[in-house]
Chain A
Amino acid sequence: MNPHDGPVLASYFQWRPDESDFQLTQTTLDLLLSGNVATVRRVGGVGAFRRRLMEIGLVPGTHVERVGDTSFADPVRFRCREAIVALRRVDARCVVVELG
């Protein structure tokens, strides 16, 4: 297909969904907007760091809601398993989530 045929967006929507397209609905926890609810897909990082994130309940399949910021914009507040936790943006970046 000639990429110059038609608007780019249209050609995007004509694509048959495959493995890589699911990535488009994914983002990282720190990029959620206030009020967004997402589902954890993957927890990045290594060792103790990653384990601690999973232990607070951020395991694949868990819903997370970004509640809001704190006064200096970092850390960010999330609601996960009925509890509110504040995570630093750098730490939240390690959690891959899918909107909805």
Chain B
Amino acid sequence: MSAAIAAGRILLVGPPNAGKSTLFNRLTGASADTGNYAGTTVHVERSTLRSLDVELPILDLPGTSSLVAHAADEEVTLRALLDGAESEHLALVLLVLDAPRLSRSLYLGVQVAELGLPMVVAVNLMDEAREAGRPPNAEALREFFGTEVVLVSARQGEGLDALRSTIDRALRNPDAFVPNVNVGMPEATACDVDTLRAQMPAWARFPEAPERERAVARWALLSAGGAHEAGRDLPWALIESLHKGAAAQGRDLDAELVGSRYAFIDARLPSLFTSMQVDDRIRRRTDAIDGVLLHPVFGTVAFLVTMSLVFMALFSWSEPFIGLIEGLFGWLGDQTTAAFAGAIGSGAGSTDSLVILRDFITQGLLNGVGSVLVFVPQIAVLFFLLALLEDCGYLARAAALMDRVLRLAGLPGRAFVPLLSGYACAVPAILSTRSIPRFRDRLLTMLVVPLTSCSARLPVYTLVVGALFPATVVGWSLPMRPVALMVMYLFSTLITLLAAVVLGKLVVPGDAIPTVLEMPPYRVPDARNVLRTVVSRVGDFLREAGRTILVATVVLWALLSFPRYTPQQVLPAEVVASAQATGADLAALAAPEALERSYAGRIGQAIEPAIRPLGFDWKIGVGLIGAFAAREVFVATLGVVYGIEDADEVNTGLRDRLRAERRADGTPQWTPRTGMSVMVFFALAMQCMSTLAVLRKETEGWRWPIFVTVYMSGLAWVLSMVTYQGLGLLGVP
């Protein structure tokens, strides 16, 4: 007769590259939710463990090779382990070890075991360990930990049933699964630990478990230094003085604490394996592949080819799906309009409210849902490729390769993929920063990614260059358009890197921690892992950012279409009369006038003094407001402002109209000088609410989105002004 299972949650803890996610997927089966760990920016996968009488939540914590924290985000694993949250206390720790790299993962294992929480150990990647001729011995590890150890190979599905039944037993009788690992320490060290232990804050006190208190005190001693964001409430002064005191005695507290754990592991390591017929085939294979993929020439070529493929895929694979989604929503809009046409024509009910309802559905709701879904293909394609590259081990190499280059801008090597993706779209790019392990590095990358020249800027550049610039570069036979576009892309790249340098120094200063890039062995990607990553990222985006984008689209629609006017209100009587006589579309004629009187139009006029130094008039101002939906909407909004039907960046109607536009004093509004200013503004300004929505989701709050808006738009205003006024001084028309 087995005891009942107590409620609570299971925590999955393990080092990176130990196949923790694969094990998580195999144990849970159904789809998982990604969410931030309460009050932090650390992403945690959450699902339920099945095959038990009750369903228990299981959390997959980020892979970490040590509990020691040098920044707030690294503290999550320890916090999650100690959080006796009222609603959901800890039921069991599932520690995942990396069988082929046992001694490394035992360092984490010992730290976790020292806490003395009910724990089951799963030694994963047994297939690789056997191939390498060093399979760990379950019995010896059981002895080592003093709790149950199961050998598994999550990919092969090996040992999973045994693991499930062990978990089941552990949940019924957790007290029998408390590990017993006691790393001997020099007496002086133990004394320092006890001194600190007595001064620890309430969350680190466990009167019933003095060993856990000591473990947390050791953690605090090692977490000192760095940015001090971690464990704000720790007695830092005491920790500092303990380190200094030890140094004064010629001791080295860090070496004692870290060294004693490794000494403990190393002393027992030889007995922890079943056999030691070391076979270095995997090792040689990994080194051989690395020899090519990290070769000065071949490696660079392989990197460029891979990244070009990723970029091309991001652009072209998602293109048909984007077209399909846009087509579908266009069709839905038409159907809705048609459905309303009958009701509006029949004069049933209030015509005006019907029109508003129709416009709300087509231009607000459908447009909003469409502009959320339109990101899905790119996100899916990007995460499909990234999961593939990550799973096979190449992404870690690519990060190492780019480290040298991006270090100059203060960015980690892993920032390369987000930066590259930014040239397609900042939304998937920001989501892809999650592969950057440290929050500070991730934040810095997220802050500069919106500066990369995304594809939505292209229509604006095309319109401006096509309408205002001569066909060839003056005096040369170089075609103007490619040259201008190239200049804009170079400009954007340069500014992005410069911004990283400056923001990295002033806003998110790093601390001196060595960059350790772990390189997993090359493996065949696991299809389930890849698919699950794609589904979870897309779902995550739709749930979290989708809502914000939808609401913002509706708000923007309201700004552009209220208050409402009838054509008779805004057009002179004779125009109305002649239009009625010729059967012209009155609504289309009235559109520019209605827009001028709308809230957006009024805002455009209100901000005109602020944007006049950039060479912009209020009509461009309205376009800037429209561009908040997505930068390319600028073109369509200008089309409405200037009364051009179906305007896009390539047809001649809007271009001719731009060239014909005059200021009050009769000078042309759109000159090459204005054009340059507009392009600089679009290159730099934060105008994309979708980016802000994703940024809010990833940084857990409005603080960073607001910061990005302010710094980018400030930069845009200043540089556009400098461009416009500078060109004026140089005599450019």
Contacts and interface: CB of A to CB of B under 8 A. Distances in A.
A3 to B, nearest CB: 36
B226 interface: yes
Interface stretch (B164-172, B198-206, B255-263, B651-659): B255-263
Contact of A72 (B222, B401, B513): B401
A77 B511 contact: no
A20 interface: no
B299 A49 contact: no
Contacts of A45: 514
Interface residues of A, number: 39
B701 to A, nearest CB: 26
B290 A56 contact: no
B512 A54 contact: no
Contact of B294 (A50, A52, A70): A70
A91 B295 contact: no
Contacts of B65: 55-56
Contacts of A83: 101, 104, 518-519
Contacts of A48: 70, 224-226, 511-513
Contacts of A46: 225
Contacts of B103: 57, 81-82
B101 A74 contact: no
Given A57-B104, A70-B400, A75 B287 contact: no
A33 interface: no
Interface in A57-86: 57, 59-62, 67-75, 77, 79, 81-86
Interface in B383-406: 397, 400-401, 403-405
A77 B294 contact: yes
B104 A86 contact: no
A67 B222 contact: no
Contacts of B286: 84
Interface string A82-100: 1111111001001000000
Interface in B15-44: none
Contacts of A73: 296, 404
A71 B296 contact: yes
B670 interface: no
Nearest to A69: B294
Contacts of A53: 514
A47 interface: yes
B254 A50 contact: yes
A100 to B, nearest CB: 18
Contacts of B513: 48-49, 52
Given A48-B513, A91-B515, A60 B259 contact: yes
B517 A85 contact: yes
B337 interface: no
Given A56-B65, A57-B103, A88-B515, A75 B262 contact: no
Given A51-B222, A52-B70, A60-B259, A86 B100 contact: no
Contacts, number: 133
Contacts of A74: 403-404
B68 A55 contact: yes
B557 interface: no
B292 to A, nearest CB: 10
Contacts of B262: 57, 59, 62
Contacts of B581: none
A49 B226 CA distance: 8
A74 B517 CA distance: 12
A60 B405 CA distance: 32
B291 interface: yes
A81 B255 CA distance: 18
Contacts of B287: 67-68
A67 B68 CA distance: 28
Contacts of B300: 71-72
A46 to B, nearest CB: 8
A86 B512 contact: no
Nearest to B511: A48
Interface in B101-152: 101-104, 107
A54 B514 contact: no
B516 interface: yes
B96 to A, nearest CB: 15
A67 B284 CA distance: 11
Given A55-B107, A71-B296, A87 B224 contact: no
B655 to A, nearest CB: 45
Contacts of B295: 71
A67 B512 CA distance: 25
A46 B243 CA distance: 11
Contact of B290 (A57, A68, A87): A68
A73 B104 CA distance: 26
A81 B518 CA distance: 12
B553 interface: no
B303 interface: yes
A83 B132 CA distance: 13
A50 B516 CA distance: 12
B213 to A, nearest CB: 21
B104 A82 contact: yes
A54 B101 contact: no
A47 B258 CA distance: 13
Nearest to A95: B514
B266 interface: yes
Contacts of A68: 287, 290-291, 294
Interface of A: 43, 45-57, 59-62, 67-75, 77, 79, 81-88, 91, 94
Given A73-B404, A85-B519, A91-B515, 13 more contacts: A47-B225, A48-B225, A52-B514, A54-B258, A55-B66, A55-B68, A55-B258, A56-B516, A70-B299, A73-B296, A77-B294, A84-B521, A87-B514
The 5 residue pairs across chains A and B that have the minimum distance between CB atoms: A47-B225, A48-B226, A71-B299, A48-B225, A91-B514
26 contacts: A47-B224, A48-B225, A48-B226, A52-B513, A52-B516, A55-B107, A56-B516, A59-B262, A68-B290, A69-B294, A70-B299, A70-B397, A70-B404, A71-B294, A73-B404, A75-B517, A81-B101, A82-B100, A82-B101, A83-B518, A84-B519, A85-B518, A86-B519, A87-B514, A87-B515, A88-B407
